[in-house]
Chains A and B, each alone.
Chain A
Amino acid sequence: MIRVAWRSLRSHKLRTVLTTVAILLGVAMISGTYVLTDQIDRGFREIFTDAYRGTDVTVTRKARFAGQLVGATEGLPQDMVEQVRAVDGVEQVYGYATGMGAVVVRGEVVQTGGAPTLFFSYSPNDLTPPDYVRGRPPEEPGEVAVIQKLATDERLQPGSPITVVTDDGAHEATVCGVFRFAAQSSLGGSILVHTTLSDAQRWFGMAGRISEIDVRAEAGVSAAGLAARIRAALPAYTEVKTGAQAAADQTKALSDAIGTFLRPVLLSFGGIAVFVGAFIIFNAFSMTVAQRRREFALLRALGASRSQVLWSITAEALVMGVLASTAGLFAGLGVAAAVNQVFRSGGFDIPHSGLVLQPRTIVIALVVGVVVTMLSAVAPALRATRVPPVAALQEGAELPRSRLTRLTPALAAVVAVLGALLIAGGMYGGGSTLVRLATTAAGALSVFVAVAIASRSFVGPLAAWLGWPLQKVSPVSGRLARDNSRRNPGRTALTAAALMIGLAVVVFVAVLAQGLKSSFIDSFDRTVRADYIIASTNYMTIPSDTERRIESVPGVEAVVSLDAQQVEAKDGVTAVVWGIDPVAIGRVWSFDWISGDDAALAELGRRGAVIEEQTAASLGVKRGGIVRVTTVEGRRADLKVLGTYRDPMILNGITVGMAGYDALFPKSQTFMVVAKARPGVDVGATQRAIETAMASVPTAKVRSTDEYKESTVDLVNQLLTLVYGLLALSVVISLFGIVNTLVLAVYERTREIGLLRAIGMSRAQVRATVRYESVITSIIGALMGIVVGVVFAWVVTTRFAGQGIVFSIPGAQLAAFLLLAVVVGVVAAILPARRAARIDILAAIQYE
């Protein structure tokens, strides 16, 4: 039977290729995701293992609370190095300070594509052997060494000037050396800079403190034993680990980040692609089973049992699934390489080791491809088994109506209700985020299936309606296309449904993004009364003296610094505490109060706070209540809630006055400074004056409020483009589905086309007929996708109405998607239309 299946596949090469590609692409996306994330995972593992190769024990400060940001610790006292050195079995000790900032070369901030710019104090030691390719490590204040990639990209060499920008301000420095880290010329786009210890302590506000102590054990001393002795000798706030453990922990932290974000995100796009592929396979098998009806009847007449007919089709699906998954697996390697290339060209150079093809990846790719293909073929195969043997003698290609046809509306309703229940459960029910997301996704898939089932009943009228203008434009091709698309509504419905899925997700994302943009703009317009916003372009801090620098600019009426730090506000719940000047804020900011009013600001003092509504809800506090916050340094304060306000975008946490902020935090950590021009002064000129004042700190970008709004909207748009790119695959797959359907339809209508050509239809008219039918199908798919996507988005925005997303329909974009669908239709029709136009008239009219 496998051989029969193989023959059947070979004799319909085009159909086999088109159907196989449909599942292949989805499998490629999935296997590519695994290959890529495994490569990144192993790449980081190698780096960390190498970095800790010479280290037996590490000492750091324990995180104060769960969820604490990496690097947000107060570090260790510098003299702890001596304490550690005194422990028995220690051969060498090395303490260093780290921090984050930015580097400026020739007046331009060096962009990292989202990766951090990390500074380490460095002096030659045996634990982390120097890997200097040029120059030497920093010895004097103002000397820095840079990682090789930065030196190459920015053409830096020993002696080049460079500016280091930290919270402490801008610092002129000189490059003294170029090094590699763990034998890598770059580290995932991160910029690494070596400084002297005293510079690091000064720039990062760590006077007398260091970030980490690394220890080398004497020969023959076990790392674990030494770690235990050091732990016993040090205060409880320290975290003592073996070097191997530290490398494993750092690898795990990154793996977890990949495993809980990058991998599931990419996999879900792969999943959508596979789902679309399943529709196409189902449709392809339904169509071929209908075509081969007499063949099956003949087999049955010759004595084949139903199960043999069933097996002959499932065997075909099996062969196709194996082919597609195997090809998809290898195509996945290409996908991984391509994504890597995209990251790299975006400046985000993820470390990755060579090809990683784990057995798990192979198993998943094969199982997904084969199982999905076979499941999609089961229903058509079952229909084939019900062809009666007598059909071998009858004309016509009608399959016996499925016993379920009568139940179709009921079935659609049941699946739709199931989907709605799942979505409701996922959105409003309990359970972990993962479970809720999975439930919602399952609900969404059910809704897609329900719409696909139900669509066969409205595809006819819809096609008639859509075809009407085509018929007006082109009385023959338009008319025939309109009729053809209604001849087999089930087939048109399924073909359109495949496109619907991809487009629905695209529309859903577009509507959500539009909602995000609208609510951001809306909230921004309601609260911000300033003319200028000074902030970094990548949500990093800006120097703390920014406020002071701007205050003295002529024409500036008011300046407020918005400082922020992370705290624990409830067991296991972190929040952001914003510090503001409670008097000046009123001149640049208008709180959107829910409870309380501007009078609350005057009462903030040292122990008062106003809270953004979502934060208040997650902490379970109201006006008049108390929030107990714990800082990274372990300071505690009970803050009295004086009011709550709406602000999903900027001050989205606990806002306290400067006095309260300073009482909690040893450093200011400024994220944003807002300023307002004096009435009557030239707003543009004043902006230029502020830019001049900030010229030495290019990390802090001076923007008018409108520019700031635009750049935030741009950011959302960039993300949107990325998501569209990932969804494009699903749309491409559905395009293959349309091609497949049209090729089969053209084949079935060979005689009709021959007749039309015989009575004078031109090839161009034949092509137009196919093209119009394709466009009608794709527009139906797009309309269904738009409706479903908008409904999904409405459901989600309704659920999360309080969290800053409003429901807003991007009309122009939806129109663009419709246009895209027309393009998909036209492109999908190219091959089938050409085939139709090339039909040999003589052969066609003599056919059968």
Chain B
Amino acid sequence: MSDDADVTIAPRPDPAPAACGAGTTIGLSDAVVQARGVEREYGQGDALVRALVGVDLDLERGAYTAIMGPSGSGKSTLMHILAGLDRPTAGSVRIDGEEITRLKERALTRLRRDKIGFIFQTFNLLPTLNAAENITLPLTIAGRRIDREWVGQLIETVELGDRLKHKPAELSGGQQQRVAVARALASRPAVLFADEPTGNLDSRTGEEVLGLLRRSCDELGQTIVMVTHDAHAAGHADRIVFLKDGAVAHDCGRLDRDEIYEVVKSLEDVG
């Protein structure tokens, strides 16, 4: 059974734009995230699912990277492992130089608290807290002193000054995601992971959030990893990593929307 699976994920030459390398690029000088030989299996026997079959990936500090791929390509699994939410079956992940795959529960909590920011597709905010409280929540959890100036700057960046006292239920979807971005930035994480951050938004509000992430990268130097299947969203990134069948299929620089569609289409055609 597993032999068959090995056959299906064998590397193959894919047509791709010039900006893309087949396979992965590793050995970057200033990598915040370093993944080596990451594998992830679920279940066993007949029910064995190999979500990742050996991913090597370096993510440069200050870069805005999108991870794309068809459903079941393993992109969410990869992000969860990179963010310390899930453990790989094999391989290693370093964040800011620290090996995280064998960390104990307490150390993982500290890692998430100090090094990582999250933006999920939905349900990013605690319904009982207002916008301002949600933004400072990671700092409160960590028991850190709240840097008023920094928080003020964030609030300015996300343009929510007049809605700070509102509860999430009183905010639009776009406003909620902007609060989520500010929340994720508040602790100045080494990496910000965004999982389909615009998946639940219409195109106009989605654009606001994407622009915000772009500015976070440009103006604040924030390292961002975004998982998405939306070509438009990926178009904002500096680098796009395409996954297919649990492995990196292409590693590209900046692409425009049409180029992305082309790569996506080529991946789907072959699959």
Interfacial residues, chain A to chain B (CB-CB below 8 A): 475-476, 479-480, 483-484, 487, 751-752, 755-763, 765, 841-842, 845
A760 touches B114 (CB 8 A): yes
B123 touches A759 (CB 8 A): no
Q: Given the complex, which residues of A lie within 8 Å of B183, measured CB to CB? A: 759
B85 touches A841 (CB 8 A): yes
Q: Among the interface residues B117, B137, B142, which one has the most CB atoms of the partner chain A within 10 A?
A: B137
Q: A759-B137, A760-B187, A765-B141 are in contact. Are A484 and B109 (CB under 8 A)?
A: no
Chain A, Cβ-Cβ closest to B121:
A845
**Of B85, B105, B110, B126, which one neighbours A752 at CB under 8 angstroms?**
B126
Q: Complex formed: what's the CA distance from A845 to B137 in Å? A: 17
A475 touches B140 (CB 8 A): yes
Chain B, Cβ-Cβ closest to A760:
B113
**Of A487, A762, A841, which one neighbours B128 at CB under 8 angstroms?**
A487
Any chain A CB within 8 A of the CB of B148? no
B128 touches A755 (CB 8 A): no
Q: Given the complex, which residues of B lie within 8 Å of A475, measured CB to CB? A: 140, 143
B68-84 at interface with A (beta carbon < 8 Å): 80
A762 touches B123 (CB 8 A): no
Q: Complex formed: what's the CA distance from A761 to B123 in Å? A: 16
Chain A, Cβ-Cβ closest to B137:
A759
Q: Complex formed: what's the CA distance from A762 to B105 in Å? A: 9
Q: A480-B128, A758-B85, A758-B118 are in contact. Are A763 and B123 (CB under 8 A)?
A: no
Any chain A CB within 8 A of the CB of B138? yes
**Of A755, A762, A765, A841, which one neighbours B126 at CB under 8 angstroms?**
A755
Q: A765-B141, A842-B85, A845-B120 are in contact. Are A758 and B112 (CB under 8 A)?
A: yes
Chain A, Cβ-Cβ closest to B87:
A842
A842 touches B112 (CB 8 A): no
Nearest CB on A from B81, distance (A): 10
Chain B, Cβ-Cβ closest to A486:
B128
Q: Complex formed: what's the CA distance from A758 to B141 in Å? A: 11
**Of A476, A483, A757, A842, which one neighbours B109 at CB under 8 angstroms?**
A757
Q: Given the complex, which residues of B lie within 8 Å of A763, measured CB to CB? A: 105, 109
Q: Given the complex, which residues of A lie within 8 Å of B129, measured CB to CB? A: 479, 483
B118 touches A759 (CB 8 A): yes
Q: Known pairs A476-B140, A759-B113, A842-B80. 12 more at Cβ < 8 A?
A: A475-B143, A476-B137, A476-B141, A756-B137, A757-B109, A759-B137, A760-B109, A760-B113, A760-B138, A761-B109, A842-B85, A842-B86
Q: Complex formed: what's the CA distance from A405 to B117 in Å? A: 43
B112 touches A755 (CB 8 A): no
Nearest CB on B from A766, distance (A): 10
Chain B, Cβ-Cβ closest to A484:
B128
Any chain A CB within 8 A of the CB of B24? no
Chain A, Cβ-Cβ closest to B120:
A845
Interfacial residues, chain B to chain A (CB-CB below 8 A): 80, 85-86, 105-106, 109-110, 112-114, 117-118, 120, 123-124, 126-129, 137-138, 140-143, 183-184, 187
- A interface secondary structure, majority: helix
Q: Complex formed: what's the CA distance from A761 to B86 in Å? A: 16
Q: Among the interface residues A751, A752, A757, A762, which one has the most CB atoms of the partner chain B within 10 A?
A: A762
A761 touches B85 (CB 8 A): no
A755 touches B123 (CB 8 A): yes
30 interchain pairs, CB-CB under 8 A:
A475-B140, A476-B141, A480-B126, A751-B123, A752-B127, A755-B120, A755-B123, A755-B124, A756-B126, A756-B141, A757-B112, A758-B120, A759-B112, A759-B113, A759-B117, A759-B137, A759-B138, A759-B184, A760-B112, A760-B138, A760-B142, A761-B113, A761-B141, A762-B106, A763-B105, A841-B85, A842-B80, A842-B85, A842-B86, A845-B120
Nearest CB on B from A415, distance (A): 31
Nearest CB on A from B96, distance (A): 15
Q: Given the complex, which residues of A lie within 8 Å of B126, measured CB to CB? A: 480, 752, 755-756
Q: Given the complex, which residues of B lie within 8 Å of A760, measured CB to CB? A: 109-110, 112-114, 138, 141-142, 187
Nearest CB on B from A757, distance (A): 7
Q: Complex formed: what's the CA distance from A759 to B123 in Å? A: 13
Nearest CB on A from B88, distance (A): 13
Nearest CB on A from B80, distance (A): 6
Q: A480-B126, A487-B128, A841-B85 are in contact. Are A759 and B141 (CB under 8 A)?
A: yes
Q: Complex formed: what's the CA distance from A480 to B109 in Å? A: 19
Chain A, Cβ-Cβ closest to B76:
A846
Chain B, Cβ-Cβ closest to A477:
B141
Q: Complex formed: what's the CA distance from A755 to B187 in Å? A: 15
Nearest CB on A from B82, distance (A): 13
**8 residue pairs, one from A and one from B, having the closest CB atoms:** A760-B113, A483-B128, A762-B109, A760-B112, A759-B138, A761-B141, A476-B141, A476-B140
Q: Given the complex, which residues of A lie within 8 Å of B127, measured CB to CB? A: 752
Chain A, Cβ-Cβ closest to B114:
A760
Q: Given the complex, which residues of B lie within 8 Å of A841, measured CB to CB? A: 85
Q: Given the complex, which residues of A lie within 8 Å of B184, measured CB to CB? A: 759
Q: Given the complex, which residues of A lie within 8 Å of B137, measured CB to CB? A: 476, 756, 759
Q: Given the complex, which residues of B lie within 8 Å of A765, measured CB to CB? A: 141
Nearest CB on A from B13, distance (A): 34
Nearest CB on B from A528, distance (A): 62
Nearest CB on A from B144, distance (A): 10
Q: Complex formed: what's the CA distance from A562 to B124 in Å? A: 81
Nearest CB on B from A734, distance (A): 26
Q: Complex formed: what's the CA distance from A765 to B105 in Å? A: 13
Q: Given the complex, which residues of A lie within 8 Å of B117, measured CB to CB? A: 759
Nearest CB on B from A721, distance (A): 43
Nearest CB on B from A162, distance (A): 71
Q: Given the complex, which residues of A lie within 8 Å of B106, measured CB to CB? A: 762
Q: Complex formed: what's the CA distance from A483 to B140 in Å? A: 15
Chain A, Cβ-Cβ closest to B105:
A763
Q: Given the complex, which residues of B lie within 8 Å of A842, measured CB to CB? A: 80, 85-86
Nearest CB on B from A489, distance (A): 13
Nearest CB on B from A471, distance (A): 10
Nearest CB on B from A474, distance (A): 10
Chain A, Cβ-Cβ closest to B195:
A845
Q: Given the complex, which residues of A lie within 8 Å of B142, measured CB to CB? A: 760
Q: Given the complex, which residues of B lie within 8 Å of A761, measured CB to CB? A: 109, 113, 141
Q: Complex formed: what's the CA distance from A301 to B33 in Å? A: 50
Q: Complex formed: what's the CA distance from A758 to B120 in Å? A: 10
Q: Complex formed: what's the CA distance from A483 to B126 in Å? A: 10
Nearest CB on A from B101, distance (A): 15
Q: Given the complex, which residues of A lie within 8 Å of B187, measured CB to CB? A: 760
Q: Complex formed: what's the CA distance from A755 to B119 in Å? A: 10
Q: Complex formed: what's the CA distance from A487 to B129 in Å? A: 11
Q: Complex formed: what's the CA distance from A845 to B187 in Å? A: 20
Q: Given the complex, which residues of B lie within 8 Å of A757, measured CB to CB? A: 109, 112
Q: Complex formed: what's the CA distance from A288 to B99 in Å? A: 44
Q: Complex formed: what's the CA distance from A484 to B128 in Å? A: 7
Nearest CB on A from B154, distance (A): 15
Nearest CB on B from A588, distance (A): 69
Q: Complex formed: what's the CA distance from A226 to B128 in Å? A: 88
